[in-house]
């Protein structure tokens, strides 16, 4: 089991949730990526997710997708899968900054540390 | 001289000096919930409650309410589940500060203008505002309430905060002084719409009064789901929760003290 933290550009949230649905544990996994309320230095918005992934999930993320029992849009899931960029900070020399063209995934680090490494900050609190 | 003895038997919660249980706080059918990660029989990996939590590191998709009110907290999305952890005889739910949270069904507080909340937490990061509990989700709503850790974020230190939205949907906050993180604390929050001016919301940390504020809110609270660990879509809590009690009533000083001691033991905090 390993922790994965993924930053998904706002434009790809729909596809990324279909990928989460295809690889996930139930029909509610289509809500894995919620509101895009994190931003990078350039102001690009991202939805984020951090979770402990099983070896099967990690293998599935890089393998041909299969239809889960609860259904999924595999075409959308495939588009998201093609955008995944996995990074292991102890192996890579450059920081895995979030990229508005990719689903940036950081392995092993605690979620908050991974997001910091990706250069992401929460959008300022909306009080009302 | 006349001696009398009451030998009646009851199944109602008892306020014993030893073996005190937070169920005592719900003896008059107060609305609310009590969550106790120390009790593994109340934790399940899935939201349906079919796969029990048996070991550290497992996700928690369902946490049973021990108040007797049936307000069980769930997280249906697998990536959003906090994880159960245990060490040194302590047990907690770890929230990742990214997307972990749980939510109860709507808890009906429409019969009360007073609330009490007790939260045993370890605030692990102060880099961004975090939510311990919040009624109704991220959208502002009259009579919604919340507890935050941190309320004010800073470099290595964070404050704790308590909130209510008044009838005009204006946010009213009170914050404590700042504490270095990580910080283990038993938080006691009070909302009392009938209290004297300036005292309607108040927050204690480890049995010390630290923050209070006035509110123009009147009337009773509403029926809302209660989010634990974020507001549903934002302000995620980065830290651990060792226990949580929420009740639709004011809490006497005697009950307040014993509830704080109860949660302090579960947190490893000495009061």
* Contact state of B77 with A37 under an 8 Å Cβ cutoff: no
Residue of A nearest to B239 (CA): A112
Cα atoms in the 13 Å half-sphere on the side-chain side of B166 = 14
Task: Give the gyration radius of chain B's Cα atoms.
Answer: 18
- Residues from chain A that touch B96, judged by Cβ atoms under 8 A, are 50-51, 110-112
pLDDT tens-digit readout, A66-109: 999 999 999 999 999 999 998 887 765 677 899 999 999 999 89
Into which CATH architecture does domain B23-267 fall? Sandwich (2.60)
Whole-number Å distance between alpha carbons of B105 and A92: 44
Instruction: Give the start-to-end residue ranges of the domains of chain B.
Output: 23-267
Band of pLDDT at residue B1, cut at 50, 70 and 90: very low
Whole-number Å distance between alpha carbons of B189 and B200: 11
Shortest CA distance to B182 belongs to which of B213, B150, B204?
B150
- Residues from chain A that touch B59, judged by Cβ atoms under 8 A, are 51-52
Whole-number Å distance between alpha carbons of B266 and B243: 7
ipTM of predicted complex = 0.92
Token pair in block for residue A21: 């649905």
pLDDT tens-digit readout, B129-174: 899 999 998 888 888 999 999 998 788 999 999 999 888 778 888 9
Whole-number Å distance between alpha carbons of B241 and A1: 22
Name which of B45, B58, B79, B239 to mutate to probe chain A: the one with the most chain A Cβ atoms within 10 A of its Cβ. Answer: B79
Band of pLDDT at residue A27, cut at 50, 70 and 90: very high
Contacts of A95 (CB under 8 A, 6+ apart): A89, A117, A118, A119
């Amino acid at each position: 089991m390993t922790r994965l933290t993924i930053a998904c550009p706002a434009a790809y949230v729909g596809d990324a949730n279909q990928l989460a649905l295809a690889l996930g544990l139930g029909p509610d996994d289509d809500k894995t990526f919620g509101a895009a309320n994190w931003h990078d230095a350039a102001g690009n918005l991202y939805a984020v997710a951090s979770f402990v992934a099983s070896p099967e999930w990690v293998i599935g993320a890089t393998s041909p997708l299969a239809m889960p029992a609860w259904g999924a849009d595999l075409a959308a899931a495939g588009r998201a899968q093609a955008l995944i960029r996995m990074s292991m900070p102890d192996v890579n020399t450059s920081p895995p900054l979030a990229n508005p063209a990719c689903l940036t995934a950081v392995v092993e680090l605690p979620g908050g540390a991974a997001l910091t490494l990706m250069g992401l900050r929460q959008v300022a609190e909306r009080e009302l | 001289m006349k001696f009398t003895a009451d030998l009646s038997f009851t199944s109602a919660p008892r306020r014993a000096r030893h073996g005190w249980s937070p169920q005592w706080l719900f003896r008059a059918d107060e609305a609310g919930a009590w969550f106790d990660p120390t009790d593994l029989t109340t934790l399940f990996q899935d939201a349906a409650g079919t796969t029990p939590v048996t070991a550290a590191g497992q996700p928690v998709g369902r946490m049973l309410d021990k108040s007797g009110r049936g307000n069980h907290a769930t997280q249906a999305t697998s990536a959003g589940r906090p994880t159960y952890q245990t060490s040194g005889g302590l047990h907690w739910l770890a929230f990742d500060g990214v997307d972990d949270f749980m939510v109860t069904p709507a808890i009906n507080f429409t019969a009360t203008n007073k609330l009490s909340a007790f939260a045993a937490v370890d605030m692990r990061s102060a880099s961004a505002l975090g939510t311990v509990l919040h009624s109704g989700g991220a959208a502002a709503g009259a009579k919604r309430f919340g507890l935050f850790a941190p309320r004010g974020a800073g470099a290595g230190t964070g404050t704790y905060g308590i909130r209510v939205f008044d009838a005009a949907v204006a946010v009213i906050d009170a914050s404590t002084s700042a504490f270095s993180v990580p910080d283990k604390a038993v938080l006691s929050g009070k909302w009392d719409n009938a209290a004297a001016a300036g005292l309607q919301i108040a927050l204690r940390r480890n049995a010390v009064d630290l923050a209070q504020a006035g509110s123009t809110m009147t009337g009773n609270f509403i029926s809302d789901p209660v989010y634990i660990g974020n507001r549903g879509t934002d302000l995620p809590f980065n830290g651990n929760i060792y226990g949580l009690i929420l009740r639709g009533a004011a809490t006497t000083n005697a009950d307040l003290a014993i509830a704080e001691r109860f949660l302090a033991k579960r947190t490893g905090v000495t009061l």
